[in-house]
Amino acid sequence: MGNWKKIQRDNLIYLGIRLIIVVVLIGAILGVATWLTSTGILDSSNFSLLLGILIGYLLTFLTKVELLKQT
């Protein structure tokens, strides 16, 4: 039974670390894109496109990493 608890604890630690990484990456993307828009380097349509592309790529990458971890 102790081994099962260790597996559960390790899984919770992994999920917590993954959640923190995702939040930090999305926050960094939003922060940089907001700064670029506020300085006039990006207009609002490019801002939306950039956010969609980067967040979509990030979520796809994390899904592939998760699938590789399961095999």
Is 45 part of any domain? yes
**Global confidence as pTM:** 0.65
Domain membership of residue 30 (yes or no) is yes
* Residue 2 near residue 8 (C-beta atoms within 8 A): no
pLDDT of residue 71: 60
**Domain-located, residue 25:** yes
* 6 lies in some domain: no
Rounded to whole angstroms, the Cα distance separating 33 from 48 reads 9
How many separate domains does the chain show? 1
pLDDT mean across residues, the chain? 83
Q: How far is CA 52 from CA 4, 20, 56, 58, in A?
A: 40, 20, 6, 10
In a domain, 49, yes or no: yes
Q: Could you tell me if residue 50 is inside a domain?
A: yes
- Give a yes or no: residue 24 inside a domain: yes
| Domain assignment of residue 47, given as a range | 16-70
